[in-house]
Structure 1
Amino acid sequence: MGKSSRVLISLPDKFLDEIDKVADDEQRSRSELIREALRQYIRNLESVGRFRGSIEA
């Protein structure tokens, strides 16, 4: 991965708890889990023609 920037977001506590549980189960960091979820979301948008851009694999 190239240069990274920090992003501050607000999430409901229960949602963050779910994210942390999945990250722990998969032995990944919270950041990596969220990055992968966003990659998949953008790829899905690209596949249905709703987004035209490029993301790193």
Structure 2
Amino acid sequence: LLEWWVALLSGENAEAFLGTQGYIWDTQSDMGLALLGAICSLLVLSKVHDKQLKQPKNDL
């Protein structure tokens, strides 16, 4: 998000700023992969999470 905000604030230099890593869509692909990872984590771990929530708590 920081890269996107800097690109917006810099105006004309947005392409130059985002292109510093050699790939202008780097920020968008990073965010897309983060979203994909979050969705996969929810799908894979949701049953484990639900099972843990149903376990009785041990009072210490």
What band does the TM-score fall into relative to the shorter chain? 0.3 to 0.5
How high is the TM-score relative to the length of structure 1? 0.39
Higher relative contact order (CA 8 A, sep 6+): 1
Bigger Rg, which one: 2
How high is the TM-score relative to the length of structure 2? 0.37
